[in-house]
Structure 1
Amino acid sequence: MNKIYKRFVVLILLVSVISGVVIYTTVDIHTLRNLDHFQPWSVALAVFSVGLGLFFDGSRLMHLVRISHEKITLYQAVQVIFGNYFLALLTPGATGGAVAQLMFLRHAGVPTGKAAVLVIVRTILSIFFLILCMPFIFLHDAGIVPGVSNDVLMAVTVTAFLVLILLVIGARRGYLDYIVIRLAKRMKNERRRKVFAFFRDTKSAVALLSSAPLQMLVVFAESGLNLLCIYAIVPCLLLGLGVTDIDWYTVMGRMIFLNMLLYFTPTPGGSGIAEGGFVLLFSETVPAGTVGIIAVSWRLIAEYIPFLIGFYYTLTVFGRDFLHRQLGK
């Protein structure tokens, strides 16, 4: 278990160093004055917002499982969600989150093949919702990324949207089969098997998406509510600082933009990039000297507390042997 303990120690040190640097480099003479007006009820409001978001996440998972003709309880769905937070934060690029979801779904009685499909569908729906939000953000918030025009960002978003749609259509109708087979021929056997397995699961996920349009529309709406509730942590904390005269559309838009980027970051759980991106996007929006503190508070409520709950569920359900297999490699 030494490697596991080392992984935890490294994570704790990484989070501590990043949080300390972010706070240290952003405090100024106005910090204490602004924090003096902070209202503790906003923390409770932020936690409630996260809880509501997690409820929608669990609800959409249960609906997806039902569409696949399987069944899980709300408690089992909660385990899947928190397990995702746990392993996602411990692995580069949050790759362990998918493994955790798969393991908890299998433990809940969902067959491996269907569990893999459900994990892919959850990711596709979340990314699709964020991509759909991007045009509305860029049309409203000029200069969201310094040095990059919104026209360029809009073009990238539209291209990503079209590519995603084409990939879905191609997978659904079999147009991608030839391309995948041609590419896989140049790979080693083990990697080829993984590519074929992933492509098969992706095709099954696309088939599931189109199998029940009305039910999937409900799941998509729950995906959006899940994300919006979790991103609302920052507005809740700003209200606690007495901020009421800012553009909340812009605040939520920038949270959506930042979290979209975090889907593609190589660091565990987006650590470092999330805090740095938050400071970059909100340094002129929040009260002076508080941007670093709010960034760390956001990560604590949105990621680190769910991580600890996921750690508890993982140990309770699978024991230390599971951690040894997944983290002790």
Structure 2
Amino acid sequence: MNKKLLQKLAFILAVIFLISFFVIYLTIDLDNIKKINIFKWEYLLFALGSLTIGLILDGTRLVHLVRVTDQQISPLEAMQVVFSNYFLALLTPGATGGAIAQVMFLKKAGVPVGKATVVVLVRTILSILFLITTIPFVLHYDNSLIPSLSKNTIYLFSSTLVILAIISVLLMRTKYPEYFLVFFTKSLNRSLKRKIYFFYKEIKTATFLFFNKPLCIFRVYLESGLSLLFIYAVVPILFYGLDETINMFVTMGRMIILNLLLYFAPTPGGAGIAEGGFVMLFKPLLPIGTVGILAIVWRIMVEYLPFIIGAYFSIKTFGPDIVARISKKAIKIKNKGVSDI
């Protein structure tokens, strides 16, 4: 196997091991660890079933999103795109390789690079948009997340967040963002200005899909939401396995908050941030000493299992030098543009 890939895998495994060790070490309580012994192991199968449904929905929404661009991919090709994202996102800084891997697989499936780039971008935008639009419901059922704010303030904040997201999409159909960019970038150097305009062009192109085929995009939006909810449902299912009485709305809401933050995490695959955020959010809801173990089980199921499958598809399709190729393409995109993929 390629030496660089082995080094990357060894590094990421070491990081995962260290994070898992410290999370468990800092949260374990020997007096309450016996709670793990009553875990109903059949709930692991239920959790895997929920994860499987979520991943399948992730693949079907990609198939339907590609159709919006008048292209076609098979369900198998869609799943390769989904799993490759897990693999390369965990091996590259800031998860940059995940997006490039998706474009590469879509290109191999016959989707032109320009359309593939838009598909990957819209796929991410719709996921984030779904999470943002659920924030009002999350804070309604769990105002203890921000106890210092009144419910009216929370509703105002949440509604403003959703409205701003919608307005941002609508503004992309106008020239106003370009006026703002001209003013904002006039004092920046040429290289940085070019990157900002390039990113703006991608976003603007992506928003055209929202208006050209709104019903199709709305369908993909709903599939995005269902996919995410089934994947997040792994956590409450694990809690039920401990025979815990939990509030489903609160648990799912906190998973939404955590995963929304992970979209902007600077570490590969959100490593460290995901585990720490999980402990912080769910420590008040679980028996002392079990939250760290469940955080690791959750990450193994929803991140590392898809990572292994993604490694198989990526290496089989593009060879063991896939990481080096992704890195080179990232540099080309940074210096020239997406057409170099």
Calculate the TM-score normalised by the size of structure 1: 0.92
Q: CA deviation at 1:126?
A: 0.6
Distance in 2 separating the partners of 1:95 and 1:151: 38
Which runs of 5 or more structure 1 residues have no equivalent in the other structure? none
For 2:50 and 2:243, the matched residues in 1 are separated by 18
Moved over 6 A (4+): 146-153
Aligned length: 328
2:40 counterpart residue number: 39
Q: Are the aligned partners of 1:3 and 1:327 in contact in 2 as well (CA < 8 Å)?
A: no
Aligned to 1:267: 267
Say if 1:42 and 1:24 are closer, same or farther in 2 by CA, change over 3 A: same
> Mapping of 1:157-168 within 5 angstroms?
157-168=158-169
For the residues of structure 1 that align with 2:307 and 2:10, how far apart are their CA atoms? 14
Matched, 1:201 2:206: no
Determine the structure 1 residue equivalent to 2:338. none
Q: Is the 8 A contact 2:258 2:274 kept in 1?
A: yes
Q: Distance in 2 between matches of 1:107 and 1:150?
A: 50
Q: How large is the RMSD of aligned CA atoms in angstroms?
A: 2.1
Amino acid corresponding to residue 232 of structure 1 in structure 2: A
Residues 6-17 of structure 1 mapped to structure 2, 5 A cutoff: 6-17=7-18
Asked whether the equivalents of residues 113 and 201 of structure 1 are also in contact (C-alpha less than 8 Å), the reply is: no
Aligned to 2:137: 136
Aligned-partner residue type, residue 168 of structure 1: V
Q: Which whole-Å CA distance do the structure 1 matches of 2:282 and 2:79 have between them?
A: 32
Which residue is equivalent to 2:75?
74
CA drift of 1:143 comes to: 2.1
CA separation of 1:319 and 1:234: change in aligned 2, threshold 3 A? same
Kindly state the Cα deviation for residue 121 of structure 1 after the two structures are TM-superposed.
0.7
Q: 1:154 to 1:303 in 2, by over 3 A?
A: farther
CA contact (8 A) 1:171 1:177 kept: no
SS of residue paired to 1:284 = helix
Check whether the contact 1:129–1:223 (CA below 8 A) recurs between aligned residues: yes
Q: Percent identity of the aligned residues?
A: 45
Does 1:124 pair with 2:125?
yes
- The residue type equivalent to 1:76 in the other structure is E
- Separation (CA, whole Å) in 1 of partners of 2:222 and 2:164: 22
> Which amino acid in 2 is paired with 1:274?
A
TM-score, scaled to structure 2: 0.89
**How far 1:235 sits from its partner (Å)?**
1.1
Aligned equivalent of 2:52: 51
CA pair 20-227 structure 1, distance change in 2 beyond 3 A: same
For 1:320 and 1:48, the matched residues in 2 are separated by 31
Task: Judge which range, 265-274 or 221-230, deviates more.
Answer: 265-274
Pairing 1:308–2:308 present? yes
2:41 corresponds to which letter in structure 1?
A: P
Relative to structure 1, the CA distance from residue 27 to residue 117 in structure 2 (aligned partners, 3 Å threshold; closer, same or farther) is: same
Partner residue in 2 for 1:293: 293
Q: Which runs of 5+ in 2 are unaligned?
A: 332-341
1:288: how far off?
A: 3.1
* 1:176 shift after superposition: 1.2
Alpha-carbon distance, 1:157 to partner: 4.2
Report if aligned partners of 2:275, 2:295 keep a CA contact under 8 Å in 1.
yes
The answer for the alignment partner of 1:109 in structure 2 is: 110
Deviations 1:74-94 (A, max 9, x none): 000001000111111122322
> Given that residues 7 and 327 in structure 1 are in contact (C-alpha distance below 8 angstroms), is that contact kept between their aligned partners in structure 2?
no
